[in-house]
Amino acid sequence: MDEHTAKAFDADLKEISGKISAMARLIEQQIVSASEILESGDTGLAKQVIAADNQVDAMQREIEEKAVITIARRQPVAVDLREVVGALRISNDLERIGDLAENVAKRALLSAQEFRAINGVTLQLQHMFELVLEQLKNVIQAFAAKDTDAAEEVWRADQEVDALNNSLFRELLTYMLENPRTITFCTHMLFCAKNIERMGDHATNIAETVYYIVKGTSLPGERPKADVTSLETLPQA
């Protein structure tokens, strides 16, 4: 790559990184809003989160278009190519996190009055949201700094979110068995918890992508994973 092409490529990468950061900030706000909805049952805020999904989708398309044009024009190789491909993967994971936040907001609209029924449950969900938000912020910073150590910390931290999801899953099943009138509420909460847990998974995906961009290999070892809810079934009442 000659000097002129290299400078142009660097400018393209800077633009793509800027778009990734902007997309991440919007999704961070979606996460904060979704957490607030669980406490307040604010249907207006829920509608805002749902409406913002179109903006997230548009930002992802912009990143994809810019990345494709950059590859076609600059023909990058090695680490340069990994950066562009990595940005595509990260934008996809960010878009999925936005979808999951939207799913929580939709649950709020379905059961606005019931969302305050068991305060302890909503507090646990909010704690899960806090952990996922921290993961997302940390991994986007790791991407910007090309910091593989920070990316690996996010990768390992996902187990804490999984553990909370497992605990809440069992607690909600207990409520449902003890009081059938809570089944609708608890079902909504089960879906919310799973959506939040999946947000953590996508943050972990981004961490793996950051490591791949810098090192050119996958993170060593098996991905830490403590979620067992997919292996369990609802007990028969």
Q: Which residues of 41-51 are buried (b: 16+ CB within 10 A; e: fewer)?
A: bbeebbeebbe
Cα–Cα distance for residue pair 58/26, rounded to 1 Å: 12
The confidence band for 162, taking pLDDT boundaries of 50, 70 and 90, is very high
Among 10-19, 27-36, 73-82, 153-162, the minimum mean pLDDT is found in 73-82
């910091």: which residue's tokens?
147
Q: What angle do CA 50, 134, 31 make, to 5 degrees?
A: 10
Q: Phi and psi of 187, rounded to 5°?
A: -65, -45
Residue 232 has pLDDT above 60, yes or no: no
The share of the chain scoring above pLDDT 70, in percent, equals 89
Mean pLDDT over 121-128 rounds to 90
Mean pLDDT over 103-124 rounds to 74
pLDDT tens for 172-197 read 999 899 989 888 888 988 999 999 99
How buried is residue 211: exposed, middle or buried, by Cβ count under 10 Å (0-12/13-18/19+)? buried
CB-side neighbour CA atoms (13 Å) of 9: 19
Mean pLDDT over 65-73 rounds to 94
Mean pLDDT over 127-137 rounds to 96
Cα–Cα distance for residue pair 56/220, rounded to 1 Å: 32
Domains defined along the chain, listed by start: 3-231 (1.20.58.220)
The confidence band for 236, taking pLDDT boundaries of 50, 70 and 90, is very low
Q: What's the confidence (pLDDT) of residue 231?
A: 46
Distances (CA, A) of 213 to 16, 142, 143, 159: 14, 11, 9, 23
Q: What's the confidence (pLDDT) of residue 122?
A: 83
- Reduced to 3 states (helix: H, G, I; strand: E, B; else coil), residue 112 is coil
Most confident of 2-6, 38-42, 56-60, 119-123: 56-60
Residue 206 has pLDDT above 80, yes or no: yes
Q: What's the confidence (pLDDT) of residue 116?
A: 54
pLDDT mean across residues, the chain: 89
């996902």: which residue's tokens?
158
pLDDT tens for 29-45 read 999 999 998 878 788 99
Amino acid at 174: T
Mean pLDDT over 107-113 rounds to 71
Q: Are 133 and 28 in contact (CB under 8 A)?
A: yes
Helix intervals (H) in the chain: 3-40, 43-74, 78-110, 119-145, 148-178, 183-215
Q: Give the tokens for residue 56.
A: 């997230």
Cα–Cα distance for residue pair 54/48, rounded to 1 Å: 11
Q: Which residue has the higher pLDDT, 227 or 235?
A: 227
For residue 232, is it left (φ>0), alpha (ψ between -120 and 50) or beta? beta
